[in-house]
Amino acid sequence: MSYMITSECINCSACEMECPVRAITAGPSQYVINPNVCIECQGYYPEARCKWACPVDACVPERSSYQFRSASLTNRGAPPVVLTADHPTGVKRMPIEVASE
Amino acid sequence: MKNRVVVVGGGWAGCSAAMTAKLAGADEVIVLERTDGLLGTGLVGGIMRNNGRYTAAEEMIAMGGGQLFQVADNTARHSNFEFPGHKHATLYDVAKIEPAVRRCLLEHGIEVWLFSRVTEIIRQNGSIDAVRLENGIVIHADMFVDATGTVGSQNYCTEHGNGCVMCIVRCPTFGPRVSLTGLVGIPEKAGRKKDGSIGAMSGSCKLNKDTIAPHIREQLEETGLAIIPIPEHLVNEKKLGTKACQQYALKEYADNVILLDTGQVKLMTSYMPLHELRQIPGLEDVRYEDPYSGTIGNSMRYSALSPRDDHMRVIGDVDNLFCGGEKAGLLVGHTEAMVTGALGGHNAVRAIAGRELLQIPDSLSVGDAITHVREAMKTDEGMTEKYTFSGSIYFKRMKERGLYTTDHDRIAERVADAGLTNIYSQRVL
Ligand SMILES: Cc1cc2nc3c(=O)[nH]c(=O)nc-3n(C[C@H](O)[C@H](O)[C@H](O)COP(=O)(O)OP(=O)(O)OC[C@H]3O[C@@H](n4cnc5c(N)ncnc54)[C@H](O)[C@@H]3O)c2cc1C
Ligand code: SF4
Ligand code: SF4
């Protein structure tokens, strides 16, 4: 498990300085915690240090549904809607060859 | 092997680049757009053909690249109309324009991909081999055009503006703009305000038409324009300096609210607290349509300008990248984006064909603007200006150089003298 930062984040950077394992970085629109690095401050502090530091209570234990919905739409893996002359309102099938990696 | 041009960004610049690339004979042209529709910031503007933009539009038509200008003309709510500082403007309908442009692109055989946000490139030596969308799909192409604009992200709007105010760009939903030039690793420049700080705020908002007094609404629909004096205690001239659109930094704009009919009501100011707006006679019940929080701010632009040459080729460690629109310099406006985008798209195909790249001479306003702005951006002072055919310093230059005219025959003649008649509608491949 790890902590996460909600969209309440006001980009103050307080948590970034406090985190003992440097799990927190500035993301495109707010600070983010790398869940692979966060250890919930076990062995360092009695409670999560970011939660202690955050002025707006944005650091909370991770909830996957929140993470999912707060990601931008395309980041959730939505397929492109492809418009062509024959399908002016969009096709599901990829009309050209694309290498999916 | 079929050749392919991928245009990243479906604003006016990207649409225009796709059109000229297709007209020049590219086999496949794909526009990748991160949102649910085309036109980007073109969904909220609407003013065309004002002042020198008229000349530029007619030059484009004479060069055979006027298709999108005609689409805009066809959806116009008002043409040949005047507002303070501006003559013979056309206002396209901001609601009708996107479907019309989309249809035009599809009819020309261009593919439009929506929900397609580019977040990564795959490089091969000095070239971009492919782009990868946020959802993992990889798209290869021979040439790429960076038409990603310069608006947002939330960080940028927060740091240099007054925060995300939920504008038409909708960064929280679709993810912020990602620059192709930036992904290549080429350092980009940022435009500056007069005081030297970074960025520039967009200069207009949209109000909901049903929330203004009926007599103003009627006047707007009939004439396109309403000018309402701002009560003395509210006049706030200081604000004008922060706007992206210098051509509107006139005193008329500080003393009045200026409303234009673009389908919605275009309010010619960066932002204004709703409670102040509601003290203006006739606007007692008014509401913002875009940005939703027009009360406190507007989107911030000019964060990431690509270094480029006069062919619209991006200069740096890459050989198959062109650019257009706001990306290509401090050129503000739909017309400006279409003009630079068109050249980028056309030259992308010339590059595939191994032909000499097109440069538009300075005997045309379109060519002069492209060269002049690139030169001007070399100086710090130049970086604090915005350039547009429609006003401020560049329109002045157009007049001084005798480029400004609304005489169609004269424009056609100039284009012919430059040897560029219908250049954009001729195949090079
Ligand atoms: C509120 C407002 C009012 C304006 N009013 C006028 C006006 O009346 N008249 C006028 O001439 N000009 C006006 N302008 C200026 C004009 O809209 C712009 O200068 C011009 O349209 C810019 O076009 P562009 O294509 O370069 O950029 P944009 O319109 O910003 O388009 C860029 C596109 O790229 C997409 N994109 C970005 N990154 C990616 C990615 N990684 N992958 C896929 N897609 C991506 C974006 O979603 C967007 O659609 C206005 C601007 C604003 C903000
Ligand atoms: S302490 Fe809270 S508000 Fe400050 S950066 Fe971290 S999460 Fe954001
Ligand atoms: S104001 Fe617009 S451009 Fe700026 S962050 Fe918000 S949605 Fe994006």
Facing residue for A74 by CB, picked from B30, B117, B138: B117
Q: What sections of B354-420 are H helices per DSSP?
A: 365-376, 392-400, 408-417
Domain boundaries, chain A: 3-72
pLDDT of residue B193: 82
CATH says A3-72 is which class?
alpha beta
Q: In what order do the strands lie in the sheet with B118-124?
A: A99-100, B137-140, B127-133, B118-124
Average pLDDT, stretch B389-396?
94
pLDDT of residue B242: 52
pLDDT of residue B238: 47
Q: What is the ipTM of this complex?
A: 0.81
Average pLDDT, stretch B78-94?
95
Both structure tokens of B119: 């977040």
Residues of B in contact with A30 (CB under 8 A): 154
* B288 vs B254, higher pLDDT: B288
* pTM tops 0.80, yes or no: yes
pLDDT at B299 over 60: yes
Least confident of B118-122, B167-171, B187-191, B281-285: B187-191
Average pLDDT, stretch B78-87?
94
Distance CA B396, CA B365 (A): 12
Facing residue for A72 by CB, picked from B112, B158, B175: B175
Q: B133: distance to nearest CA of chain A, Å?
A: 9
Distance B280 CA to ligand 3 centre (A): 27
pLDDT at A101 over 50: no
Q: Which ligand is nearest to the CA of A27?
A: 2
In sequence order, what DSSP letters do the residues of chain A get, joined into one string? Answer: --EEE-TT-----HHHHH-TT--EEE-SSSEEE-TTT--TTTTT-SS-HHHHH-TT--EEE--HHHHHHHS-GGGGTPPPEEE-SS-TT-BSS-SS--EE-
Q: Is A53 in the pocket of ligand 2 (CB under 6 A)?
A: yes
pLDDT at B114 over 70: yes
Best to test chain A binding among B35, B116, B160 (most A CBs inside 10 Å): B116
pLDDT tens-digit series, residues B346-366: 999 999 999 999 999 999 999
pLDDT at A100 over 50: no
* B203 vs B240, higher pLDDT: B203
Asked: is B4-195+301-425 a CATH 3.50.50.60 domain? The reply is yes
Both structure tokens of B332: 């503000």
Rg over CA atoms, chain B: 20
User: Closest residue of A to B117, CA-based?
Assistant: A74
CB-CB neighbours of B141 under 10 Å: 23
Query: B106–A83: do the CB atoms touch at under 8 Å?
Result: yes
pLDDT tens-digit series, residues B316-345: 999 999 999 999 988 999 999 999 999 999
In the DSSP assignment, the letter for residue B28 is: E
The amino acid that residue B396 corresponds to is K
Q: What sections of B66-130 are H helices per DSSP?
A: 67-74, 97-107
Domain boundaries, chain B: 4-195+301-425, 200-290
pLDDT tens-digit series, residues B118-176: 999 999 989 999 999 988 899 999 999 999 999 988 878 888 888 889 999 999 889 89
